[in-house]
């Protein structure tokens, strides 16, 4: 009977919401500071950010020097 399956679905939704409502959260200021710190700590190792030189990047063309 559709009535009882609606209740079962609703019960699942309520149980899920109870779970989600109960989790521990941190303030955005704290979370944002941590995200920022991670970026800054790893910035030097980020080739696309630092624009690593052609000689180190396997995808950039090597400049070929030839004697004239």
Q: What is d(CA 17, CA 32) in angstroms, rounded to the nearest whole number?
A: 25
Q: What is d(CA 55, CA 26) in angstroms, rounded to the nearest whole number?
A: 44
Nearer to another protein, 18 or 63 (CB): 18
The 3-42 site mask, x for binding another protein (CB under 8 A), equals xxxxxx-xx-xxxxxxxxx-x-xxxxxxxxxxxx-xxxxx
Nearer to another protein, 58 or 68 (CB): 58
- Residue 62 found at the interface with another protein (CB under 8 A): no
Would you put residue 51 in left (φ > 0), alpha (ψ -120 to 50) or beta?
Answer: left
**Structural contact between residues 54 and 61, judged by C-beta atoms closer than 8 angstroms:** yes
Task: Give contact residues for another protein (rule: CB under 8 A).
Answer: 1, 3-8, 10-11, 13-21, 23, 25-36, 38-43, 45-49, 51-52, 57-61
């Amino acid at each position: 009977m559709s009535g009882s399956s609606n209740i079962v679905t609703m019960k699942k939704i309520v149980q899920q919401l109870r779970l989600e409502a109960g989790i521990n959260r941190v303030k955005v200021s704290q979370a944002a500071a941590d995200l920022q710190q991670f970026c800054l700590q790893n910035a030097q190792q980020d080739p696309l950010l630092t624009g690593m030189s052609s000689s180190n990047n396997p995808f950039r063309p090597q400049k070929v020097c030839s004697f004239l």
